[in-house]
Amino acid sequence: MWPELILKAKRGGLNVIQTYVFWNIHEPEQGKFNFEGPYDLVKFIKTIGENGMFATLRLGPFIQAEWNHGGLPYWLREIPDIIFRSDNAPFKHHMEKFVTKIIDMMKEEKLFASQGGPIILSQIENEYNTVQLAYKNLGVSYIQWAGNMALGLNTGVPWVMCKQKDAPGSVINTCNGRHCGDTFTGPNKPNKPSLWTENWTAQFRVFGDPPSQRSAEDTAFSVARWFSKNGSLVNYYMYHGGTNFDRTAASFVTTRYYDEAPLDEYGLQREPKWGHLKDLHRALNLCKKALLWGKPNVQKLSADVEARFYEQPGTKVCAAFLASNNSKEAETVKFRGQEYYLPARSISILPDCKNVVYNTMTVVSQHNSRNFVKSRKKNKLEWNMYSETIPAQLQVDSSLPKELYNLTKDKTDYVWFTTTINVDRRDMNERKRINPVLRVASLGHAMVAFVNGEFIGNYHKHIIIIIILSML
């Protein structure tokens, strides 16, 4: 599916494909690597280059991404004295070892732009500012170490850290969110560009929640706003949704991921989002010379409307963005002697500072709807019941339930805890029979209880349940 998806993105006006690197699928067991089939990272990057596009490599190796364990492999938990994402020798050793392996693979295949390849940016760590305070001084020293370690790998392309205000040295701090044109505090040094690593096209979905939607108009407004304020790169998160198969999704997150993206879960174009953004990208490309070499200026046109324009003195190179922050009413304003009509909360793009070629609220793209047809094959499937034997007695190992993750090694979500309760009926008054009570306090997602092999109750979510055992 890769070539088709990449070409759909390219036809949509994109010129960069961004990917995470998933440590827990590439090294599921310590020292045993998997880069085969759908995990062939080199082939994926090469396919991007073969289709005339650039690539961004987000290494992490903690990636979040609503992915199981944030991309960290389970075996890492069993390393003695390890503290994840901290100035901790065991963690830094294994992190650096994995990152170096990936970088060496890319270098060997000459995939960095400095070698003529498609990779123009790499990312180390991920959204660390959200947890940094919990680590105190160990967090400050860790992020400095991580940035300097990455720079020492000499890839010949810039490194970024998203949502990291204190990104060290030449590492570029970037923005994540929906409206970075207005929320980003800016690069932490004047020689760094403004980069946006995640412009959320919707929101991931958790079980029980309705689909999250973000309009094509709002997404387009945010992108136009970003470039009008000297932004250099926008990455959509996600541009293509997908399916998190098996145990890859994080806890509570559905297997459907960003189905509301411009390319939906199945790789189909979701209109008008895909088409409206395609028109936006075309308009921005018409402004390239002015954005790259023009001098930025701002002019107030009314209480709620401003013009941001880039002009190269002595030439005809000029591009303007007329932005209305009036969310209720449309306005007509004058710019350079001409009148322009602006719908409420919209941006008009003028690649020659005269003619409007695009407005973020004016959708001319087609609309579509997705229909489903029942599978004839599925309707012919025969379903069989599977019954698992309930263990009657296990070897006494612990008087209390163990921590689930350590017990299952992340290979399953299911585990049995069995215990025996001896009730001396001679101490019971026949008139006032006292039934034993089993009280279960758990942070698990779900629990099912049996007594003497008989089902007696269940509950889900974060639970504290009390089950009265009827001992007949």
Which class for 173: exposed (0-12), middle (13-18), buried (19 or more C-beta within 10 A)? buried
Residue 184 identity: F
Helices (H) and strands (E) in the chain, counts: 12, 20
Catalytic annotation, pick one of 27, 125, 198, 331: 198
Nearest to 21 by CA among 70, 74, 65, 58: 58
> Rounded to whole angstroms, how far apart are CA atoms 169 and 295?
27
d(CA 445, CA 393): 24
In angstroms and rounded to an integer, the radius of gyration of the C-alpha atoms of the chain is 28
Joined together, the tokens standing for residue 385 give 């019941």
- Closest CA relative to residue 241, chosen from 207, 298, 200: 200
Q: For residue 265, indicate whether it is catalytic.
A: no
Determine contact, residues 19/44, Cβ cutoff 8 Å.
Answer: yes
The residue from 27, 125, 127, 331 that is catalytic is 127
Is residue 46 a contact partner of residue 109, using CB atoms and an 8 Å limit? yes
User: Of how many residues is the chain composed?
Assistant: 472
Tokens encoding 187: 């690069």
Q: Is 109 a catalytic residue?
A: no
CA geometry: angle at 367 spanning 364 and 369, to 5°? Answer: 175
Beta bridge partner(s), residue 358: 349
With tokens 């990104």, the residue in question is 167
Active site residues: 127, 198
